[in-house]
Structure formats: structure tokens, C-alpha cells
């Protein structure tokens, strides 16, 4: 294939490439002005040719030795050496000069796009401040251990994830989330690496080593984003691999068949064959299509959306259904106890205390809300044999009694007699020795932009569903507020996977099923869906690892932005493919019949590539 990514210039400085072009043009003008002839003419033109295109010839030779024959360097070398062989010295020199100029501007355009993306993700911390023996020392973030205390002053980046232990600050999260709204941090709050402290001094107890920190994971995602190719990129790779040998064969046929069977003018047809070779290089495709995807991924990162590869960007552009988890995705996941209903032989306060003891070891948002409502310290010695039952609740021994706290499924599985209730929130039943003592209602607030997300997707003709392990009452309340196409409640993680698989089986060809979630129990579903979208910074590590797309804040409406960016990127990719192939075919026909000279061929090749590259860069916006 035409390996157009491997540029042969040394662009470390601007002068060498441009200086070579300038000297070659001076020699060309000298030869023409003084009307040199004979060996002197050849010597000056050949010197100009080597100065302008020596590196092209060298790289072509190296590629031939390693088996990569049909690339752009080979095509340019073959065409220009042929031009010299038939005495078209000025054409040979100008082909190399124009090619070098085009390559220079093309390289600058690609470098600009990479710089833009690098600047968007300029979140890697340079150092971490550690207090040692009363003095602050700067250390590499990689040297910091878990539970170390680091100090972050105003204007500095937070280098590692941790918990605020002292001080307050307002942090700028825009590098991660794309949102300009700052966050207020106080003792006890989680500090996320990559954010910038805008005021105050804070001390942070490190909770993750640098390699596991949010900023390190983001940088890794961005670095690996171009490793998973889209179908369009794979098509171009295969196309170039077949196309280039075919056009070389076409040039050979053009040079031999017409003069033998038509008019005998070998020189004319040989010149046309050389022009045909120059036109044939598929650089516009090989460069602009991957660059379009790269720019699209960079444009998405500007909005706080990390896409792990171009194949996922392509799949994002054609969704048939978007399926949401409820808690923490469409709702804030910040539960609060809103009602306590106890049986006659226990008070509401006693019911809350007993439930809080059972939930003491759980970090589930529901458990945290119950412990927060109880508000007292719990003696861990009172609670033993704690067992979390996925999708149902918790079982434990409290003062020697078997106590259950969970949903209807847990009560039914444990053969507890109870009266099911239907509330707008999540209902947690508590039972002691298989006797139901009452229930606690916990409500979760729907996110401000959740309705916008569901409504926007439906307006695009995309099916929306909610899958949740929550009660039917809580799920139906959410459905009433958001109006999705379908809602399924009281699902275990395996049930969610089954629902996703059913959707995948019935989807249209070339369409995708997207799942959006944030919890650790969503990891299997995120992996099974065509596209798994994790609610990033506030989501679990497992969800981020399993997902194909990471939304760096907790706004579900960002899925609309991600789909929009993906669709616009794919439009640009298609435009470049159609434009490049169309112009190539037109000029190949014109070149074969002698309507385009070799100079025009270079303008066509370089011009098409530059236009396609500039068009690709629109995806950054």
C-alpha cells in the first residue's frame, strides 16, 4: 500500500526541506536561463533533481529492500527517472519540487491537528508536592505511594487521585469534562487528578498510584485511540494495497500496448504512462481518512468525551437503540431516606438502626444513604457473617440474629412473609429471623439533562430503553419523568446482559446498540453492547475499563454530542473518499489520453491530498 504516513523529510526544523526546494529551483532557473545543452544541461538538472528528491529515491530503495514496493516514493521515483530517461529534465525536477512543497504543507496540517489534540489533553502533571520533615519537596507523580499526603497550591494541577484531608479549594475540571463550571472541594471530598486548583491550598491523601489514576487512564486512552481501526480505514488499507499494483500494471500497459497496436509513438505513450504513475498515488485517501477519525476523536475529547478508537466512532454514528442504566446514569445516585415505615413491635428509629448495621459494610449508594440517615457510629463487632447478594441486598448476623435488608426478591428468596408496597422511590425491606419488620423508602433525584438526552435521541429516531435493578415503582417513576420507549426493572446483571443480547439479535444490519452505565455491575453489559459508554470520572474503574466511550462528567446528554460528532466525522470521511477517488479516476483518464501533463499530475495529486487533509481537520471543530 501507499505508506503515506512515513514522511521522508526532516521536519525537525523548517529550513532543510525548504532550502533544498529553493536551491533546486535556482538550479532549474539557471539551466533554463542560460540555455544549457549537452552534458552541462544534464549535470545541472540532475543535481537539482537529487537535491529536491534524493530522500524520496533513498526511501523508495529502502522500502523495496524490505518488500514494501508499491508506495508513493516508488511511484514518484519510477515516474521521474523515466522522465529523465526520455530527456524531460525540467519535468522530473519540478515533479520532485512540487511534491516536496505539497508534502511540507501536508505535514504542517497533520502536525497542527495532532498539536490541537495534544493541547486538549495537556493534563499530565509534572510533579507532586510532598511534605517531608517540615519541608515541601517536589517528586515525580510515579514516586508517590497510596496514603501519602500531597499538597496542591493555587494554579497547580492535582497530580493524583485522593481524598481532601485539609483545606478547601475551587477546581477547574474543564480539561477532563469540557465543562467550564468549577467544583468546590472540601475535606472528605474526592479530588480527581488532571483538575487545576484555582484557589487555596489543599492536602490530599492519595488513594491510587499514578498508573491507576484518572489522568493516567485518560492519557492511555488517548494514546491508544488510533489502534482500533474503523471499517472505513480497513477498506482504505485494502483498497490501497490492491489499487497501487493495478495502476502500475495499467501504466505498463499504457506504455506498451498503444504504440505497438495503434501508432508506434513509444515516446508519447511512455510519457503518458509516467504521468499516469504520478497521478495514481492514493495519498489523499491513505492520509485523510485516518486523519478524519483522529480529528473526530480529538474534537470529542474537547467536549469531555473519550472515544477509544475509530471503530467505536464509526459505530457511534449509526445507533439503532441507546439503553441506559438508571441509578447514577439518568439519576444522580445520591439517595436520601424519605420514609420509614415500621411494624407495631419496633419503632422507626430502631428499624433504621438495624438496617444501618446490616448495610454498614456496603458502599452501595443505597447503603450509604441509610448510614447517613442513621448518623451514628456502628460497632463492627455487633455485625458478623455479612453477605452481599447481587441485585437483591445484604444478609448478616446482628447480635446473633439473622437480619436481611433488601428488595422484594431477597424477601421472596428467603421465604419472608411481607406485604409488597409500591412507592416512587427504592423500597428496602428489613427482616429479622424471617419476620418482616418494615421498610425504608429511598429516593433518587433525576439528573437535570436526562430528559433532554432521552428526548433528543427519540427525535433522531433512536430507540431508548432503561434497564435497572431497582424496583418497578422507582423505575416507573423515572419512566414517567423521561418517557423512554421501554423500561425494565428489578434486573440482575445477567438479566441486563440478556436484554442487550436480545436487542443485538433483532437490530438492523450495520446498526449498533449502545449501553450507557456507570456502576461496577454494569461492566458485563458495557462489554456485551456494540458500544459501551461509561459515565467517566464519577463512574467506577471497572466500568471505565470495560467501556468503549468514556464521558468525563456525569451528563447523559453528552451521548447526544458523542453521536453528533461521530455522524459529522463519518460525513467528512465519506466526502474525502468520494472526492479523492472521483478526482483520481478523472485525472487518470485524462492523463492516459494526454490531456494532463506531468506537472498537472503533481498539482492534482498534491492538491487533492491537501484539500482532503484540510477537510479532515474540520472534524476537530
Angle at 560 between CA 558 and CA 566, to 5 degrees: 105
Are 546 and 527 in contact by the 8 Å Cβ rule? The answer is: yes
Dihedrals φ, ψ of 275, to 5°? -60, -40
CA distances from residue 590 to 276, 342, 604 in whole angstroms, order as listed: 9, 88, 11
Residue closest to 70 by CA, chosen among 291, 277, 289, 284: 277
Half-sphere exposure of 604 (CA within 13 A, CB side): 28
State the catalytic residue, choosing from 325, 444, 553, 605. Answer: 325
**Residue 310 CB coordination number (10 Å):** 28
Residue closest to 555 by CA, chosen among 572, 533, 576: 533
C-alpha cell at 429: 425491606
Q: Which residues pair with 514 in a beta bridge?
A: 322, 531
Q: Report CA 367 to chain centroid distance, whole Å.
A: 34
From the number of C-beta atoms within 10 Å of its C-beta (0-12, 13-18, 19+), residue 597 rates as middle
Q: At what angle do helices 89-120 and 38-65 cross, to 10 degrees?
A: 40
What is the rounded CA–CA span in Å between residue 335 and residue 351?
A: 18
What are the CB-based long-range contacts (under 8 Å, 24+) for 398-401? 398/354, 398/357, 398/358, 398/432, 401/432, 401/433
Radius of gyration of the chain (CA): 33
Are 426 and 328 in contact by the 8 Å Cβ rule? The answer is: no
> Which distant-in-sequence residues (6+ apart) come within 8 Å of 67 by Cβ?
none
Residue where the block lists cell 511512455: 270
325 assigned to active site = yes
Instruction: Give the catalytic positions in this structure.
Output: 325
Amino acid at each position: 500500500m501507499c505508506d503515506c504516513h512515513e514522511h521522508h523529510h526532516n521536519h525537525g526544523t523548517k529550513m532543510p526541506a525548504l532550502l533544498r526546494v529553493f536551491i533546486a529551483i535556482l538550479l532549474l532557473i539557471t539551466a533554463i536561463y542560460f540555455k544549457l545543452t549537452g552534458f552541462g544541461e544534464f549535470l545541472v538538472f540532475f543535481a537539482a533533481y537529487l537535491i529536491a528528491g534524493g530522500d524520496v529515491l533513498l526511501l523508495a530503495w529502502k522500502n523495496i529492500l524490505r518488500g514494501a514496493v508499491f508506495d508513493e516514493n516508488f511511484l514518484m521515483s519510477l515516474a521521474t527517472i523515466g522522465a529523465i530517461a526520455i530527456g524531460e529534465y525540467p519535468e522530473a525536477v519540478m515533479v520532485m519540487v512540487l511534491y516536496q512543497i505539497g508534502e511540507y504543507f501536508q505535514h504542517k496540517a497533520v502536525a497542527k491537528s495532532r498539536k490541537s489534540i495534544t493541547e486538549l489533553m495537556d493534563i499530565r502533571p509534572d510533579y507532586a508536592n510532598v511534605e517531608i520533615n517540615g519541608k515541601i519537596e517536589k517528586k515525580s507523580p510515579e514516586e508517590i505511594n497510596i496514603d501519602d499526603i500531597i499538597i496542591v497550591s493555587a494554579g497547580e494541577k492535582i497530580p493524583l487521585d485522593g481524598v481532601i484531608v485539609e483545606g478547601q479549594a475551587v477546581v477547574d475540571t474543564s480539561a477532563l469534562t469540557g465543562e467550564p463550571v468549577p467544583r468546590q472541594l472540601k475535606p472528605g471530598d474526592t479530588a480527581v487528578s488532571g483538575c487545576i486548583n484555582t484557589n487555596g491550598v489543599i492536602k490530599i491523601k492519595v488513594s491510587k498510584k499514578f498508573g491507576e489514576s484518572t489522568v493516567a487512564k485518560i492519557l492511555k486512552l488517548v494514546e491508544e485511540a488510533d489502534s482500533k481501526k474503523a471499517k472505513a480505514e480497513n477498506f482504505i488499507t485494502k483498497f490501497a494495497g490492491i489499487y497501487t499494483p493495478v495502476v502500475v500494471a495499467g501504466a505498463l500497459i499504457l506504455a506498451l500496448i498503444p504504440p505497438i497496436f495503434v501508432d508506434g509513438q513509444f515516446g508519447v505513450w511512455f510519457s503518458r504512462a509516467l504521468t499516469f504513475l504520478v497521478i495514481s498515488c492514493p495519498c489523499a485517501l491513505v492520509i485523510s481518512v485516518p486523519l478524519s477519525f483522529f480529528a473526530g476523536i480529538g474534537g470529542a475529547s474537547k467536549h469531555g468525551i473519550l472515544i477509544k478508537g475509530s471503530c467505536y466512532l464509526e459505530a457511534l454514528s449509526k445507533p439503532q437503540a441507546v439503553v441506559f442504566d438508571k441509578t447514577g446514569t439518568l439519576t444522580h445516585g445520591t439517595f436520601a431516606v424519605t420514609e420509614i415505615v415500621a411494624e407495631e413491635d419496633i419503632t422507626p428509629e430502631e428499624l433504621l438502626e438495624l438496617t444501618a448495621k446490616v448495610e454498614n459494610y456496603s458502599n452501595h449508594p443505597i447503603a450509604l444513604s441509610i448510614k447517613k440517615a442513621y448518623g451514628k457510629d456502628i460497632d463492627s463487632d455487633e455485625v458478623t457473617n455479612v453477605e452481599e447478594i447481587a441485585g437483591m441486598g445484604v444478609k448478616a448476623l446482628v447480635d446473633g440474629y439473622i437480619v436481611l435488608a433488601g428488595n422484594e426478591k431477597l424477601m421472596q428468596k428467603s421465604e419472608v412473609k411481607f406485604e409488597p408496597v409500591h412507592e416512587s422511590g427504592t423500597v428496602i425491606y428489613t427482616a429479622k429471623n424471617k419476620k418482616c419488620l418494615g421498610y425504608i423508602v429511598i429516593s433518587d433525584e433525576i439528573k437535570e439533562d436526562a430528559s433532554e438526552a432521552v428526548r433528543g435521541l427519540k427525535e433522531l429516531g433512536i430507540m431508548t430503553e432503561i434497564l435497572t435493578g431497582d424496583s418497578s415503582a422507582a423505575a416507573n417513576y423515572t419512566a414517567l419523568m423521561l418517557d423512554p420507549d421501554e423500561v425494565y426493572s428489578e434486573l440482575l446483571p445477567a438479566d441486563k446482559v440478556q436484554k442487550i443480547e436480545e436487542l443485538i439479535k433483532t437490530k438492523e444490519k450495520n446498526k449498533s446498540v449502545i449501553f450507557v452505565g456507570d456502576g461496577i455491575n454494569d461492566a458485563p453489559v458495557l462489554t456485551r453492547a456494540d458500544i459501551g459508554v461509561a459515565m467517566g470520572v464519577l463512574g467506577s474503574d471497572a466500568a471505565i475499563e470495560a467501556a468503549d466511550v468514556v464521558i468525563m462528567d456525569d451528563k447523559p446528554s453528552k451521548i447526544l454530542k458523542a453521536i453528533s460528532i461521530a455522524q459529522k466525522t463519518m460525513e467528512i470521511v465519506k466526502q474525502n473518499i468520494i472526492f479523492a477517488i472521483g478526482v483520481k479516476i478523472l485525472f487518470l483518464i485524462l492523463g492516459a489520453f494526454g490531456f494532463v501533463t506531468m506537472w498537472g499530475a503533481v498539482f492534482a495529486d498534491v492538491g487533492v491530498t491537501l484539500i482532503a487533509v484540510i477537510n479532515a481537520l474540520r472534524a476537530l471543530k
